[in-house]
Amino acid sequence: MATAELATYREKWREAPRGSDTDGRIFSSELLAMPDDVFLSTWQAMAARRYDGELGWLGTLYFDTFRDRKVAELGSGLGFDGIRFIEHGAAWTFCDIVPDNLAVIRRVATLKGIADRARFHAIGDDLSFAALPLDYDAIWVFGSIHHVPFEVARREALDLLGHLKPGGRWMELVYPRERWLREGAPPFEQWGKVTDGERTPWAEWHDIEKVRRRLLPAPLRTVLDFEFCSHNYRWFDLVYAADKQFRVDDYDVRLLSRRVNLLVAPPRLAAGARRTLLGRGIVCPAGLFAHAATIDLDAALRALSNAPADLPGAALDIECRVSKGAVGIGLIDASGAYMPGAEISVEEGSDSRLVTLRAVGVGVPATLVFRNLRAAGRSTFAVLKAELRPAN
Ligand SMILES: C[S@@+](CC[C@H](N)C(=O)[O-])C[C@H]1O[C@@H](n2cnc3c(N)ncnc32)[C@H](O)[C@@H]1O
């Protein structure tokens, strides 16, 4: 990323959120200009709003998890979470792109007499974390890197992940797609102004698969994944499921980037389904759960079977646009039964959806099925991309 681009984000984020979402934001330089007693009581009042508000339950959930543990936070703002966890026995490293934000936290920690358990890392234009130790128990990402485009966030995330212990946790708060839809589905350059104020250059919705793609090839196991607060937020708690430190260089990038295109031939239409007039879309047969189209995965799975041995399996990325109704995208086994947890529903919408199915195993015969999820009427959809790849 060019320096000038990161400068845009630095300029925005020297104004960080006060405690609660409804309280707006404050410039860290404004806080730093206050005398010690006013500074600390102002910070304390904002922190109290945070702990009593819609995000306060996170403390209750994780105090015990983090006691005597070492956590690195990516995008620490004014430090409300980290300071609270330090007060409950954690050692915390605050990382941010805005030095003044870190200066606020350093001063709070000093005034509270807990600076010995706090460490600070100003993220430079190289987006590197090389100065930090390699033995963190958890990485805490609270509404931060979803404010930069995916490729930038990926570089940062993969670098910091290399500092997590095997079996450590990646915990992250993001904005879900549901919220983006509710707020008018704007381009990500515009959405930030809605979510975080007029000066915000970027906000991007995330689901679990986007977070996993960002951390690919790191093997991850999901502990928690849920939306809360009227779909305003989504919380992920993932385990880095490996027995060695993560180093991207340990993975064969050539194999990792292997993609088997499933659309070399059009999906096979089921009885009663038909192509749309333009030939690019498919109209489902009437009736709930009526199959519309299938793609047999055997050949593609065989082609991928020399995927890296230390990756647990394969995943299917399917990009689909539903112009009417709703369509289920799922996997059935050789006997025609749906594999557990292997169907995703895509609703009618103006944008296309990229969904990932990961219940697919190399060497396990499976068929990809598109079916009608409307009890009344026929759903209509187009498949823009369908690829098999190694999964993390
Ligand atoms: C919405 S605030 C959240 C702050 C804090 N986590 C909280 O919950 O109060 C976003 C924070 O992420 C930081 N940030 C923005 N882009 C970042 C990036 N690419 N890498 C690291 N931190 C970033 C900002 O400086 C800011 O402190």
Return all residues near 391 (Cβ < 8 A) that are at least 6 apart.
Answer: 311, 312, 313, 314, 315, 358
Ligand 1 centroid vs 243 CA: distance in angstroms?
Answer: 30
**Calculated CA dihedral for residues 88, 92, 98, 104, nearest 10 degrees:** 40
pLDDT band at 308 (very low <50, low <70, confident <90, very high): low
The answer on 34 and 121 residing in a single domain is yes
Could you give the percent of the chain with pLDDT greater than 90?
A: 80
Residue closest via CA to ligand 1's atom 13 equals 75
Could you say which of 250, 283, 312 is where a domain stops?
250
Q: What is the pLDDT of residue 37?
A: 98
Structural domain containing residue 319: 255-391
Cα 238–chain centre separation:
11
- 43, 54, 71, 147: which to mutate for ligand 1, most atoms within 8 A of CB? 147
pLDDT at 357 over 60: yes
Ligand 1 centroid vs 317 CA: distance in angstroms?
Answer: 29
Ligand 1 centroid vs 222 CA: distance in angstroms?
Answer: 23
The answer on 186 and 268 residing in a single domain is no
pLDDT at 222 over 80: yes
17-31, 41-55, 251-265: least confidently modelled range = 251-265
Could you say which of 250, 276, 311 is where a domain stops?
250
Residue closest via CA to ligand 1's atom 9 equals 77
Number of structural domains the chain divides into: 2
pLDDT band at 312 (very low <50, low <70, confident <90, very high): low
Question: Which pair of structure tokens corresponds to residue 111?
Answer: 């005034």
- Specify the pTM: 0.91
**CATH number of the structural domain spanning residue 294:** 2.60.120.680
The answer on 265 and 150 residing in a single domain is no
The number of the ligand 1 atom at minimal distance from the alpha carbon of 14 is: 25
Ligand 1 centroid vs 253 CA: distance in angstroms?
Answer: 30
d(CA 172, CA 234): 8
Instruction: Determine if ligand 1 sits within 6 Å of the CB of residue 147.
Output: yes
pLDDT at 168 over 70: yes
Could you give the percent of the chain with pLDDT greater than 70?
A: 95
The answer on 246 and 272 residing in a single domain is no
DSSP state of 14: T
Q: Can you spell out the DSSP letters for 66-86? A: HTT-EEEEES-TT-HHHHHHH
**CATH number of the structural domain spanning residue 64:** 3.40.50.150
Ligand 1 centroid vs 135 CA: distance in angstroms?
Answer: 22
Instruction: Determine if ligand 1 sits within 6 Å of the CB of residue 17.
Output: yes
The answer on 218 and 79 residing in a single domain is yes
d(CA 372, CA 289): 5
Could you say which of 218, 250, 282 is where a domain stops?
250
Instruction: Determine if ligand 1 sits within 6 Å of the CB of residue 171.
Output: no
The answer on 265 and 375 residing in a single domain is yes
Average pLDDT over every residue of 59-87: 97
Return all residues near 31 (Cβ < 8 A) that are at least 6 apart.
Answer: 39, 42, 43, 78, 104
The number of the ligand 1 atom at minimal distance from the alpha carbon of 13 is: 25
Instruction: Determine if ligand 1 sits within 6 Å of the CB of residue 217.
Output: no
E strand residue ranges, 302-337: 313-324, 326-332
d(CA 11, CA 98): 8
Instruction: Determine if ligand 1 sits within 6 Å of the CB of residue 140.
Output: no
The answer on 65 and 190 residing in a single domain is yes
Instruction: Determine if ligand 1 sits within 6 Å of the CB of residue 16.
Output: yes
The answer on 123 and 179 residing in a single domain is yes
The CA R_g of the chain, rounded to the nearest whole Å, is: 23
The answer on 138 and 272 residing in a single domain is no
pLDDT band at 311 (very low <50, low <70, confident <90, very high): low
Question: Distances from the Cα of 34 to the Cαs of 39, 96, 118, in angstroms?
Answer: 5, 22, 22
Ligand 1 centroid vs 218 CA: distance in angstroms?
Answer: 23
The number of the ligand 1 atom at minimal distance from the alpha carbon of 142 is: 6
Q: What is the pLDDT of residue 135?
A: 98
Instruction: Determine if ligand 1 sits within 6 Å of the CB of residue 175.
Output: no
CA angle 85, 86, 91 (to 5 degrees): 110
The number of the ligand 1 atom at minimal distance from the alpha carbon of 153 is: 19
Instruction: Determine if ligand 1 sits within 6 Å of the CB of residue 98.
Output: yes
Ligand 1 centroid vs 168 CA: distance in angstroms?
Answer: 22
Question: Which pair of structure tokens corresponds to residue 353?
Answer: 């959806």
- 96, 108, 150, 194: which to mutate for ligand 1, most atoms within 8 A of CB? 96
The answer on 366 and 267 residing in a single domain is yes
DSSP-derived pairing of the beta strands 268-269 and 291-296: antiparallel
Q: What is the pLDDT of residues 104-129, one digit of tens each?
A: 999 999 999 999 999 999 999 999 99
Cα 365–chain centre separation:
30
The answer on 155 and 28 residing in a single domain is yes
Instruction: Determine if ligand 1 sits within 6 Å of the CB of residue 142.
Output: yes
Buried b / exposed e along 205-218 (16+ C-beta atoms within 10 A): bbbbbbbbbbbbbb
**Helix, strand, or coil (residue 52):** helix
Residue closest via CA to ligand 1's atom 10 equals 144
The answer on 168 and 24 residing in a single domain is yes
pLDDT band at 197 (very low <50, low <70, confident <90, very high): very high
